[in-house]
Amino acid sequence: MALKLPIYMDYHATTPVDPRVLETMIPYFTEKFGNAASRSHRFGWEGEEAVGYAREQVATLINAEKPEEIVFTSGASESNNLALKGVAEFYKDKGSHIITTKVEHKAVLDTCKRLEKQGLTVTYLDVDKTGLVSVDDVRNAITDKTILVSVMLANNEVGAVQPIGEIGKLCKERGVLFHVDAVQGIGKTEFDVRAMGVDLASITAHKIYGPKGVGALYVRRSKPRVRISAQVDGGGHERGMRSGTLNVTGIVGFGKACEVLTQTWRDEVRKIEAQRNRLAERIFKNLDEVYLNGPALDSGKRLPNNLNVSFAYVEGEGLMMAIKDVAVSSGSACTSASLEPSYVLRALGVDEELAHTSIRFGLGRFTTDEEVDFVADLVVGKVKKLRDLSPLYEMAKEGIDIKSIQWAAH
Amino acid sequence: MAYSDKVIEHAENPRNVGTLDKEDPSVGTGLVGAPACGDVMRLQIKVTDGGVIEDAKFKTFGCGSAIASSSLATEWLKGRTLDEAETIKNTDIVAELNLPPVKIHCSVLAEDAIKSAIDDYRKKQASRRAQG
């Protein structure tokens, strides 16, 4: 079978909607279009019932005790904002200190920055060279002013899976609330809010083959009962925690996406991991000076679908252009408006030179073995071609130490 | 961000890739940029006794726009006198390649590389005359 181009290998960014999910959603656009808050007629009841069912599907995936612990939002950025700002506001008399890590998503980091402007103190923990936070560092950072610890389940760039269960246990011991941005890890690694002692968790549909524009915040209702101040006021939807007419169609799709994942994720992990390893093996076997960013592939501490590598002496965006039939992303500065390379790679201590040469491959449900082989061979060929074009590769081969040269910053 | 057809064409089929002997007195070498900034260009010219650029080669570590800018520069340099070569401006490169605002620094780097190569050539010539 001929390959269909372009090939999508950027599943960390988003995923296509699964056909099973789409099919479930369609009636809710036209026939069952009711407002879930309309209590006076059948259209509204239908919507409310559909939302209720989806709430159960989402709750089941993360093993929440009750469906009522799921608060629907517009996506994980909103969920992260609501968790951090909502806790900071509600518990302001209890304390004013938040602990997080340097490799969180911007939706957490920028929210923390804003809270700092409002007078809170935030500790941004370092990570090790593979991207993992140390539980001891979390323990040492907790003070009597600490109200919340926020750590991601898995990193979106280098796939590092954080020790959530251990941090959850620690937070319980110290009486501190624990928020997890679970967006990247859901369905790819174990996540159980009860077993792991998680009090709040952000998830989103579009990373798990559901539609964009819908997500959820899990808010624990018992042991402890977690309270948050609403950040959007209005009709008091979602038990007062998030006003706004519910996106019934999106929520139905989100629920279905969670149901599919609950049934299939363990098998899916095996498939994706085998493909990711095949891709890595083929690249590493055929190229010299390729460096893995993040935890070792067989460490059990890395997302099964993530491969992040630096191809020394080949700039990331230049490589992406050379493999333009493949959709991937890069930690290169050139991909961002700021001209700064990835802050995540910097937090891992990756040299700026190497950060500029990094490429992130994200595999997913619909990735095929043929695609993996095609991408691996294409990347190997293009890296060789671009190295022939690279003055740095030539200098390195001549034995010149690139670092010894006085480069003019520009 | 989508690339212009001209950038893609140059990046896929770069002109004048290669290395000239940098010890050759008739060769001027410009090495600009920095690996930590994500782009490094090396541009070399070979100049006749009459002051005409008879050959130009480049190697670039950088994005597609950086590769295209330096590839285009070598095309333009060949056959020009040094004085003519000095009149090449980064804005000419921006216009020819339809570079978007975030990629203007690639054209600036190419202009710097041209100037630096000419400078290197002239310095070599001056020190030869001083020795001779």
Count of helix runs (H) and strand runs (E) in chain A: 13, 13
Residue A390: pLDDT band with limits 50, 70, 90: very high
* Catalytic status, residue B37: yes
pLDDT at A408: 77
Is B49 a residue whose pLDDT tops 90? Answer: yes
Closest approach of chain A CAs to the CA of B132, in angstroms? Answer: 31
pLDDT per position as a tens digit, A174-193? 999 999 999 999 999 999 99
Is A1 a residue whose pLDDT tops 70? Answer: no
B106 vs A contacts (CB less than 8 Å)? none
CATH for the B5-124 domain, from 3.10.450.50, 3.90.1010.10, 3.40.50.12780, 1.10.3720.10: 3.90.1010.10
pLDDT at A331: 82
- Which residue is catalytic, options A112, A171, A258, A334? A334
More confident: B132 or A324: A324
Is the distance from CB of A181 to CB of A211 less than 8 angstroms? no
- Asked whether the beta carbons of residue B60 and residue A388 sit closer than 8 angstroms, the reply is no
Tokens describing residue A98: 């938040």
pLDDT at A337: 58
- Asked whether the beta carbons of residue A408 and residue B42 sit closer than 8 angstroms, the reply is no
Residue B2: pLDDT band with limits 50, 70, 90: confident
Q: Which residue spans within A182-241 are E strands per DSSP?
A: 200-204, 215-219
CB atoms within 10 A of CB A304: 21
Q: What share of chain A is helix, strand, coil (3-state, %, to 5)?
A: 40, 15, 45
pLDDT at A335: 52
Is A154 a residue whose pLDDT tops 60? Answer: yes
pLDDT at A333: 63
Buried b (16+ CB within 10 A) or exposed e, B13-43: ebbbbeebeeeeebbbbbbbbbbbbbbbbbb
Backbone angles phi and psi of A211, in degrees to 5: -75, 160
Buried b (16+ CB within 10 A) or exposed e, A211-230: bbbbbbbbbbeeeeebebeb
Q: How far apart are CA B117 and CA B45, in angstroms?
A: 7
- Asked whether the beta carbons of residue A391 and residue B61 sit closer than 8 angstroms, the reply is yes
pLDDT per position as a tens digit, B30-46? 999 999 989 999 999 99
pLDDT at A82: 98
What residue ranges do the domains of chain B occupy? 5-124
Count of helix runs (H) and strand runs (E) in chain B: 5, 3
Mean pLDDT of B104-132: 94
Task: With residue A306 as reference, give the H or E element that holds it.
Answer: strand A306-311
Is A336 a residue whose pLDDT tops 90? Answer: no
With an 8 Å Cβ cutoff, is B41 touching chain A?
A: yes
* Catalytic status, residue B63: no
Chain B, 7 to 26: residues with Cβ < 8 Å from chain A are 8, 11-12, 14, 17, 19
Picking from A197, A118, A202, the residue whose alpha carbon sits closest to that of residue A152 is A202
Per-chain mean pLDDT for chain A: 96
CB atoms within 10 A of CB A194: 13
Picking from A179, A177, A112, A186, the residue whose alpha carbon sits closest to that of residue A154 is A186
Percent pLDDT > 70 in chain B is 98
pLDDT per position as a tens digit, A265-276? 999 999 999 999
Closest approach of chain B CAs to the CA of A122, in angstroms? Answer: 30
Q: How many CB pairs under 8 A join A and B?
A: 94
Beta-strand pair A177-181/A146-152: parallel
Q: How far apart are CA A401 and CA A395, in angstroms?
A: 8
* CB neighbour list of residue A6: distance below 8 Å, 6 or more residues apart: A324, A325, A326, A327
Mean pLDDT of A317-337: 84
Closest approach of chain B CAs to the CA of A318, in angstroms? Answer: 4
- Asked whether the beta carbons of residue B8 and residue A333 sit closer than 8 angstroms, the reply is no
Residue A384: pLDDT band with limits 50, 70, 90: very high
Q: B58: which DSSP letter? A: E
Is the distance from CB of B82 to CB of B42 less than 8 angstroms? no
Q: pTM for the whole thing?
A: 0.95
- Asked whether the beta carbons of residue A315 and residue B39 sit closer than 8 angstroms, the reply is yes
Is B1 a residue whose pLDDT tops 80? Answer: no
Residue B131: pLDDT band with limits 50, 70, 90: confident
Tokens describing residue A266: 């363990």
Percent pLDDT > 90 in chain A is 94
pLDDT per position as a tens digit, A95-106? 999 999 999 999
